[in-house]
């Protein structure tokens, strides 16, 4: 009897502790978004619009599970916005525009206009969220376009087909950690300096190029993949690691697993022979069935161990250390 009473006391204390923890978590977010009305807002865009312009401190928005079909913009004035999803598999921000779709003026939207989620504000961060363009295999259809500086995505998914992820801003520094990115043709493309660490890059059937960097002339870094995994359901040898959207493209893979879908040549010049003298397409310590340094095109590069040391977050990002950022509060239930 005494043991049973003690057990009940412990159980009650645990329940009370859980309630207190949940309350503390709820209070640690500035805004909560929920379809069911249990938060301050029912849409993500409403919550972002409520962020004070050019706020110096981060504004954390917690998004409860649900499919939010919205075309969302983080404006340049909305700085320090931090989105935290309840569950990366169940917190989905999606839209279905595509480049050849006509707008209300009867004009094609174009690649940029197809975007589901725009990031123009600096110091944006997202965690535990799926970003999607659900238009399907209909040509260019962007899930996320990023122009802001000091932007980080952690444990996020990017779903689409052609042109899924658009690191667009020339002066933009972006860090993707523990993310999943899928697509077909050129599904990671753009001007920005972007580091992908411990990410899965999934090539779907019907495509042929993983990246299409358009790095500006003189920019020291473009796309850098650290300890990633290139996987997919595409046929064997059907994908190139990259092709130059612009002639000074820079794309480097370090300590990365390459699946059998990667073509032995590795890289394609996009029928621009002059780009062969201007691009930097390089690898270091590639592994897996798609790693074939001897078969790579002659104008690509295999880095030495000393050269690989130039690809640290400090050297790539300079005065911005994304890992020094304060972590978001733990997700509530």
Q: What angle do CA 32, 177, 212 make, to 5 degrees?
A: 110
Residue 104 burial class via C-beta count within 10 angstroms: exposed 0-12, middle 13-18, buried 19 and up: exposed
CB atoms within 10 A of CB 133: 29
189 by DSSP, 3-state: which?
Answer: strand
What are the structure tokens assigned to 116, written together? 């589901």
Concerning whether 178 is annotated as a catalytic residue, the answer is: no
The strands making up 130-133's β-sheet, listed across from edge to edge, are 66-69, 91-95, 130-133, 157-159, 180-183, 200-203, 229-232, 257-258
Give me the half-sphere count of Cα atoms (radius 13 Å) on the Cβ side of residue 318.
10
CB atoms within 10 A of CB 330: 10
Start-end of H helices in 118-226: none
Start-end of H helices in the chain: 2-27, 44-49, 110-113, 305-308, 313-317
Selected catalytic residue, list 122, 186, 319, 321? 186
Distance between CA atoms of 63 and 129, rounded to whole angstroms? 9
Which residues are part of the catalytic machinery? 186
């Amino acid at each position: 009897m005494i043991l049973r009473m003690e057990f009940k006391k412990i159980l009650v204390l645990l329940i009370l502790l859980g309630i207190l923890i949940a309350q503390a978590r709820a209070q640690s977010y500035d805004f909560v978004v929920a379809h069911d009305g249990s938060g301050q807002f029912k849409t993500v865009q409403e919550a972002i619009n409520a962020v004070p312009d050019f706020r110096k401190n981060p504004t954390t928005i917690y998004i409860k599970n649900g499919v939010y079909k919205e075309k969302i913009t983080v404006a340049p004035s909305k700085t320090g916005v931090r989105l935290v999803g309840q569950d990366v598999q169940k917190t989905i921000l999606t839209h279905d525009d595509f480049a050849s779709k006509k707008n209300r003026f009867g004009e094609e939207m174009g690649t940029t206009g197809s975007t589901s989620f725009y990031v123009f504000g600096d110091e944006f961060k997202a965690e535990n969220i799926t970003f999607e363009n659900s238009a399907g295999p209909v040509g260019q259809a962007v899930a996320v376009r990023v122009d802001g500086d000091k932007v980080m995505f952690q444990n996020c998914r990017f779903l689409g087909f052609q042109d899924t992820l658009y690191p667009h801003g020339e002066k933009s520094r972006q860090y993707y950690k523990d993310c999943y990115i899928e697509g077909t043709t050129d599904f990671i493309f753009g001007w920005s300096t972007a580091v992908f660490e411990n990410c899965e890059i999934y090539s779907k059937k019907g495509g042929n190029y993983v990246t299409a960097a358009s790095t500006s002339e003189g920019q020291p870094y473009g796309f850098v993949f650290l300890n990633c995994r290139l996987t997919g359901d595409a046929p064997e040898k059907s994908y190139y690691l990259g092709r130059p959207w612009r002639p000074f493209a820079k794309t480097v893979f370090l300590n990365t697993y390459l699946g059998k879908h990667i073509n032995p040549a590795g890289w394609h010049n996009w029928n621009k022979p002059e780009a062969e003298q201007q691009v930097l397409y390089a690898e270091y310590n590639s592994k897996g069935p798609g790693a074939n340094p001897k078969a790579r095109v002659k104008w690509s590069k295999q880095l030495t161990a000393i050269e690989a040391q130039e690809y640290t977050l400090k050297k790539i990002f300079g005065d911005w250390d994304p890992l020094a950022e304060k972590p978001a509060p733990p997700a509530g239930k």
